[in-house]
Chain A
Amino acid sequence: MKKLTSAKAKEVFEKMSDIRNFENTLHDIFAKGEIPGFVHLYAGEEAVAVGVCSHLTDDDYITSTHRGHGHCIAKGCDLKGMMAEIYGKETGLCKGKGGSMHIADLDKGMLGANGIVGSGFPLAIGAGLRNQYLETKDVAVCFFGDGAANEGNFHESINMAAIWNLPVVFINENNTFAESTPQHYSSASKTIAERTAAYNIPGEKVDGKDFMAVYEAAGKAIERARKGEGPSLIECHTYREYGHFEGDEQTYKYDSDEENAFHERDDVKEFRDYAIKKKLFTEKVAKKIEEKSLQDVKDAVEFAKESPAPQPEALYTDVFAD
């Protein structure tokens, strides 16, 4: 696998900063009542989406979750189009018809955030099957939560990926909770990774707050899939900065000091420190990236606010292809 170059590191930090700023901004905007509906923020898990998507091109596919903004940004979706979608505006990536839980950009290989937990698994199988069928070198990556791992789809899909040797990589974002329910309550296996033994595919657990750990593990798994050597799974131990959705009081948190300490970790800052220490970029460059990112997110909000609502006729279109 290629080493993380200085140019790539800057790109990584840009994406991680964009996700963090996008989500922090949404947190504030939601509190002010400017956007309706359910909003699940990805802040705190940036290292996972960016660590994985840094190995992908627009021709590779990803499936996402209800907590999808991070995957979108990491896969290259436009911040303005995303923000406008979350505001329900005509200029949104889905013309304002989908909203936060359904942002998609097929041109970027982003098969949609998903309101149904666990429904990304079979979609990724389908995309992987397509890649194999058309004899491309493209891969499909399926992001899924610790909660999603308990859906029947997890088992059926991984088994199919394994028997057909599909170019699919399963990325588990284990943020230790599904809504308010801890993983140790809902899963009989201690880790998600160990379940892969039953399906004869590689599975490993990595520190999901550590960008480099995710980046390296994902790089290997994706390369393997591209070479036709089949599917694998990576469990990334992470945590979300905010509640399950905006408005969640999170009384279920803080069971032990160890958990507490883990929740306090900041993956974006950790990568920033790492990159500067490794001389991948300077403090000055980091600051510049951060400033630009803040400005880009601000511009996205402006764009969204100024954009028109969808035309009334939009209600009836897009049900069928003509």
Chain B
Amino acid sequence: MTKMAFMNAINQALDQAMEKDDKVFLMGEDILGGAGVKHLEEKNEDAWGGCFGVTKGLGPKYGKKRVIDTPLSEQSYMGAAVGAAVTGLRPVPELMFSDFIGVSFDSLLTQGSKMRYMFGGKAKLPLTVRTTVGAGASAAAQHSGAYYGIFASIPGIKVVVPSSPYDAKGLLLSSIEEDNIVVFCEDKTLYGVKGEVPEEYYTIPLGKAAVKREGKDLSIVTIGKMVSVALDVADKLSDQGVDVEVIDLRTVAPWDEETVIDSVKKTGRLIVIDEAQPHNNTATDIAATVTDKAFDYLDGPIKRVTAPNTPVPFATNLEQAYIPSADRVIEEAAEIIDDLKNSK
């Protein structure tokens, strides 16, 4: 184990995936950086390694055949990734910000995600789209979206949102091994977060949640950078004598119904925290499913704490208010927390 930043764990996963399988290649904007610049080519250097430096060093190591800088043509290079995947390669394109999916959505929405089904099961789509999500970087309305719920609503696409460096590496290696389309959502505000990461190749299965903290009074189900918010809530409530269980979904499509429902059966109360918008989304899906399948075990309403139904604002104070915080969770879920305390 070494202590490693989230972004370095992703870099290591890409490195090991490329080492293991020569069909794995990367494409995206400035993932090498300075492509075609003479003095950099002579020294075999990459200028950027991606906008956030996540792919730094992979270009010089694997060459321009496997680390391909694209023009600003998201529609076509994402479509090309689908075309390369269905014809036998294992592309790992980077979409710098998930907000740019608007430019390139056809490749996933009507092409890639439906191919296997439309073609009667004959096609395989070993494709992992890496992209960034999340508010909190003052990146404003067009660079801060948490769009994993939109991807997750499409049959034929799996969606991963890792919360720690350890998970990022293991989940990314699993994603790349998959013969399906996976959208791998990296919260840009987590890139610098450090954690223990084994040096060796390892995988974490998709669709399996992690119980981050066991508790018997109240379940909190969440994802990505909201996991630390949930743990914060758990700490605060523990001081008040409430024992919270925190579940990190890790994967929003498919999400781990069994772990969530088992937890609700134990605690009888559920809060879902999600940085995405409040409607037609991961949080609503979880709440609906739990109501459907574990209604008799619930001792109170399910509380969803999400971003408001607005775009992401720029001003720092508004952006901070936009992102669910521990205090806001406790405030918005006061009804079930108070009820729980009273019933003790």
Are A and B interaction partners?
Answer: yes
In the complex, whether A133 has a CB less than 8 A from a CB of chain B is: no
Whether B318 lies near A152 (C-beta < 8 A) is no
> Among residues 166 to 193 in chain A, which have CB atoms less than 8 Å away from a CB atom of chain B?
178-182, 184-187
List the interface of chain B (C-beta within 8 A of A): 29-30, 33-40, 45, 47-48, 51, 69-76, 99-100, 102-103, 137-143, 308-311, 313-318, 321-322
Report the separation of the CA atoms of residues A116 and B103 in the bound assembly, to the nearest whole angstrom.
Answer: 9
Query: Contact partner of A150 among B71, B142, B143, B311, CB < 8 A?
Result: B71
Main secondary structure of the interface of B (DSSP, over half): loop
Task: Contact check, B35 vs A185: say whether CB atoms are below 8 A apart.
Answer: yes
Q: Which residues of B contact A180 (CB under 8 A)?
A: 30, 33-34, 47-48
Partner of A99, one of B29, B36, B45, B140: B140
Would B72 and A118 count as touching, CB distance under 8 A?
A: yes
Interface of chain A, helix or strand or loop or mixed?
Answer: loop
> Could you jot down 30 A-B contacts, CB within 8 Å?
A36-B316, A37-B138, A37-B139, A88-B314, A88-B316, A97-B141, A99-B138, A99-B314, A101-B140, A115-B99, A116-B99, A116-B103, A148-B72, A178-B29, A179-B48, A180-B33, A180-B47, A180-B48, A181-B36, A184-B36, A185-B35, A186-B71, A251-B45, A251-B47, A252-B34, A255-B38, A309-B318, A310-B317, A315-B322, A319-B310
- Extra A-B contacts (4), CB below 8 Å, given A88-B314, A97-B318, A309-B316: A99-B140, A151-B73, A178-B71, A315-B308
Which B residues are CB-close (under 8 A) to A101? 140, 142-143
A219 located at the interface, meaning its Cβ lies under 8 Å from any Cβ of chain B in the complex: no
Which of A89, A97, A148 has the most chain B CB atoms closer than 10 A to its own CB? A97
Whole-angstrom CA separation of A115 from B308 in the bound complex: 22
Chain B residue at minimum C-beta to C-beta distance from A318? B310
Interchain CA distance A94-B321 in the complex, whole Å:
18
Give every chain B residue within 8 A of A181 (Cβ-Cβ): 29-30, 33-36, 69, 71
Set of chain A residues within 8 Å of B76, measured between Cβ atoms: 152
For the complex formed, measure the closest distance between the CB of B27 and the CB atoms of chain A, giving whole angstroms: 13
CB contact between A102 and one of B33, B38, B141, B310 (< 8 Å): that residue = B141
Interface string of A29-49 (1 = CB under 8 A from B): 000000011100000000000
Complex Cα distance, B75 from A96, in Å, reads 31
Contact partners of B47 in chain A: CB under 8 A: 180, 251-252
Residues on B with beta carbons closer than 8 Å to the beta carbon of A186:
35, 69-72
**Cα(A37)–Cα(B188), bound, Å:** 13
**Residue interface bits A117-138, CB-to-B below 8 A is 1, else 0:** 1110000000000000000000
Contacts of B317 in A (CB 8 A): 88, 309-310, 312
Bound CA–CA A312/B320 (angstroms):
10
Q: Is A164 an interface residue, CB under 8 A from the partner?
A: no
In the complex the two chains form, is A310's CB within 8 Å of B30's CB? no
Instruction: Give Cα A117–Cα B316 distance, bound, in whole angstroms.
Output: 24
Judge whether B140 and A179 touch: CB under 8 Å. no
Residue among A150, A185, A252, A310 with max Cβ neighbours from chain B (10 Å): A252
A191 to chain B, nearest CB (A): 15
For B312, the closest partner residue in chain A by CB is A97
Q: Give min CB distance, B340 to chain A, whole Å.
A: 29
CB-CB < 8 A to A255: which residues of B? 37-39
The reply to whether A115 and B37 contact each other, CB–CB distance below 8 Å, is no
Pairwise interchain contact A312-B30, C-beta atoms closer than 8 A: no
> Are B141 and A115 neighbours in the complex by a CB distance under 8 Å?
yes
What distance in Å separates the Cβ of B276 from its nearest Cβ neighbour in chain A? Answer: 16
The 8 A-B residue pairs with the shortest CB-CB distance, nearest first, are A185-B36, A115-B142, A99-B314, A36-B138, A37-B138, A252-B34, A88-B315, A150-B71
* Bound: A150/B30 CA distance, A: 14
User: Hey, which chain A residues are within 8 Å of B103, CB to CB?
Assistant: 116, 118-119, 151-152
Evaluate contact between A97 and B33: CB separation under 8 angstroms.
Answer: no
Verify A309–B321 contact, CB threshold 8 A: no
- Contact residue among A88, A185, A315 (Cβ-Cβ distance under 8 Å from B321): A315
Beyond A99-B138, A101-B143, whether A150 also contacts B73 by CB under 8 A is yes
